[in-house]
Amino acid sequence: MGEPASGPIGIIRAATSALMGRQSWLRTAGRTFDGKRDFYEVLGYQRELRPQDYRARYERGGIAARIVEIFPNATWRGDGEVYEDENPDVSTAFEKAWQALNKRLALWSMFRRTDVLAGLGRYSVLLLGAPGKLEEPLDKLKPDDLLYLQPFAEEDAQIRTFITLETDERFGQPETYQLTRSTESALGRAHLSRVVHWTRVIHVADGQLDDNVYGTPRLQRVWNYLDDLDKVSGGGAEAYWKRADQGLQINVLPETKFSAADGEALADQVEEYIHGLRRVLRTRGVDVNTLGSDVAGLNPVDQIMMLVAATMGVPQRILEGSERGELASSTDKSNFDDTIADRRMSFAHPVIVKPFVERLIDLGALPEPKDFLTGWPDLDDLNESQKADMATRWAGLNSAMGEVVVKPNEVREVLGLEAFTEEELAAQKAEKEEAAAQAMQQMQQSGGKPLPPGAKPPKVPSAGTTPAPAKGKGPPFAPKPAEEDEEDATLEAATAKALTLAIARGRAVLDTPALRAAIANRDVNAMHRLLYGSTLRVGEALTKDVARLL
């Protein structure tokens, strides 16, 4: 009778079958035209990749290291927190215990390192340095008994056994690991190996799809592109060396008799000329000719990096760490920040932070909270230039709308300044109202012309009286049709509004007659020139205010 399909034997057979299926797929990857053409073989691509391969490329390749670290570094940047109560003025027993643990073991830094190592293979583990034998389950743990945390990559934390009991809630998950560590010292190389129970580690896998144990190495999908990059960059440098350094052609004349010693001496000189600092060849009966050369042209590094960035889902400028224009870089940063925010919610918290906290709660190392959340630092921290630009835009929004959309204290918060007090805001409001009232009075009493400094406005005749005509002149007010009266009233209102706004914004000088003429003629361009001032936003806002009155 054959072995049953279920049970431990069946699980082993299923795992073996899946492994053989993947290996079979790897052997056929890159084959086209019914196997007649093998791109992997022709282009020199490695067919099967191991954790050791990822580690070697990570340690020697700058771009590979950037690919592995860019997501973890952005995800864990700053100092996050785990809290129970959202009120910042309340510190629960759980929060105090967590803060003490974080201060002692630098948890956020450990999480980042574990995340990086997870990208160098299919998973990584974070070892809890607790008392007891490593191969035995960890049942209880006091807060002070957690002595250290140590991350291990897949190559140093091989899964030794799996849980095969089908009724176990961890069915199919690792049961024990074989942790190894090699260290070098003056006494030689030491190799340590221990069996560790799963309760003493936190298993971290990134990019899981159809497997709850193994994720996807971050270098796997871009490996071929990195090979191409090495070919292009290394080949381009070698080609430049060969083309820029002109070769030599040694022509021995037919009538020359060369002894073995002469040949060796000439060969030594040529070797020294090529690889050393010699720039003179002493010859006899030999013609030395330089070979022509061309400087190597542009190579497709940028195209390869574009493919790498697209595969990773990272803007190329972010991946390369370069800024090519403020607008593009701002858009790229916004998109990348969204990606990191999603990663924090879908990976960092549920895969690393939450299992770690829950494990410590189950072991008794942390008090049990009602619930806990992970707080992350802001991603969109603005520099000084961005803060100033944001404040200017908000102030311009108020001007364009003709009302307060963004309050002054909200603008000051963006700039990192202290908020105005209620007394300061009231004083500013009173000052603006006084300036507006003075401007209106000046317009009404001077016929639209600004008064000279120190001059007093003329007295306004009382109601029901007619001002006396000036000497030698007729009546000051000629009768006008009703339509002209309405038009003049609109003109006066628009001019007064423009002057009020100009004074409120600190415009000391304004050509009021010219502005009146521009408003009367509906000349928007002229209004813009007069109201432009020192900043475009203020000018445009004033123009819109006046145009809205018309």
**pLDDT tens, residue by residue, 201-244:** 999 999 988 888 999 999 999 998 898 888 887 776 666 666 66
Q: Is the pLDDT of residue 68 over 70?
A: yes
**Confidence (pLDDT) at 17:** 52
Q: Are 498 and 545 in contact (CB under 8 A)?
A: yes
Higher per-residue pLDDT: 94 or 397: 94
**From residue 260, how far is each of 29, 248, 256, 273, 313 by CA, in Å?**
54, 21, 13, 20, 64
Mean pLDDT highest for which of 12-21, 31-40, 165-174? 165-174
Q: How confident is the model at residue 364 (pLDDT cuts 50, 70, 90)?
A: very high
pTM: 0.62
Give the model's confidence band at 135: pLDDT under 50 very low, under 70 low, under 90 confident, else very high: very high
pLDDT at 361 > cutoff 80: yes
Residue 538: inside a domain = yes
pLDDT at 147: 93
Does residue 462 form part of some domain? no
Shared-domain flag, residues 65 and 96: yes
Residues 228 and 301 in one domain: yes
Q: Among candidates 293, 291, 297, which has minimal Cα distance to 244?
A: 293
Query: Do the beta carbons of residue 397 and residue 99 sit within 8 Å?
Result: no
The band of 345, judged by pLDDT with boundaries at 50, 70 and 90, is very high
Q: How far is CA 151 from the centre of its chain?
A: 25
Is residue 421 assigned to a domain? yes
pLDDT at 533: 45
pLDDT tens digits along 389-416: 667 776 676 666 666 767 777 777 766 6
355, 374, 393 — which closes off a domain?
Answer: 374
448 Cβ partners below 8 Å, 6+ apart? 492, 495, 512, 513, 516
Answer yes or no: do 130 and 207 share one domain: yes
Mean predicted lDDT score pLDDT of the chain: 75
pLDDT of residue 354: 95
Classify residue 458: in a domain, yes or no.
no
Look at residues 311, 307, 249 and name the one whose alpha carbon lies nearest to residue 283: 249
Question: Count of domains in the chain?
Answer: 4
Return the higher-pLDDT residue of 61 and 71: 71
Q: Are residues 441 and 340 in the same domain?
A: no
Q: What is the predicted pLDDT for the residue at 175?
A: 95
pLDDT the model gives residue 352: 96
Residue range of the domain that includes 256: 246-290
Q: What is the pLDDT confidence band of residue 46, given thresholds at 50, 70 and 90? A: confident
> Same domain, yes or no, for 304 and 256?
no
Q: Residue 503: its pLDDT value, please?
A: 52
| Residue 213 covered by a domain | yes
Average pLDDT score over residue span 413-421: 75
Q: Do residues 434 and 415 share a domain?
A: yes
Cβ atoms of residues 121 and 154 within 8 Å? yes
Radius of gyration (C-alpha) of the chain in whole angstroms: 39
Tens of pLDDT along 165-174? 989 999 999 9
Q: What is the pLDDT of residue 506?
A: 47
* Contact status, residue 145 vs residue 131, Cβ threshold 8 Å: yes
Ranked by mean pLDDT, which of 215-219, 278-282, 316-320, 464-468 comes out on top? 215-219
pLDDT value at position 447? 55
Mean pLDDT for the stretch of residues 540-549: 52
Q: How confident is the model at residue 133 (pLDDT cuts 50, 70, 90)?
A: very high
Residue 2 has pLDDT above 50, yes or no: no
Confirm if 485 and 491 have CB atoms less than 8 A apart.
no
272 and 367 fall within a common domain: no
Residue 457 counted as domain residue: no
Residue that is last in its domain, among 345, 374, 403: 374
- Confirm whether 470 is domain-assigned: no
Residues 395 and 267 reside in one and the same domain = no
280-294 mean pLDDT: 63
High-pLDDT (> 70) share of the chain, %: 57
- Residue 293 binned pLDDT confidence (cut-offs 50, 70, 90): low
Q: Judge contact between 147 and 186, C-beta under 8 A.
A: no
pLDDT-wise least confident of 145-154, 370-379, 439-448, 465-474: 465-474
Given a cut of 70, whether residue 457 has pLDDT beyond it is no
Q: Which residue has the higher pLDDT, 459 or 148?
A: 148
Name the least confident of 38-42, 375-379, 391-395, 456-460.
456-460
Can you tell me the mean pLDDT for 474-481?
46
Pick 116 or 474 by higher pLDDT. 116
Q: What is the DSSP code string of 206-219?
A: SS-SS-SS----TT
Mean pLDDT confidence for 371-385: 76
540 belongs to a structural domain: yes
Same domain flag for 448 and 422: yes
Mean pLDDT of 70-79: 91
pLDDT at residue 214, rounded to an integer: 95
**Are 171 and 204 within one domain?**
yes
Among 349, 374, 399, identify where a domain stops: 374
Task: Decide: 365 and 388 in contact? Cβ < 8 Å.
Answer: no
CB atoms within 10 A of CB 275: 8
Q: Please state the rounded mean pLDDT for residues 159-163.
A: 94
135 and 267 together in one domain? no
In this prediction, residue 26 carries a pLDDT of 54
Q: Within this chain, do residues 519 and 390 fall inside the same structural domain, yes or no?
A: yes
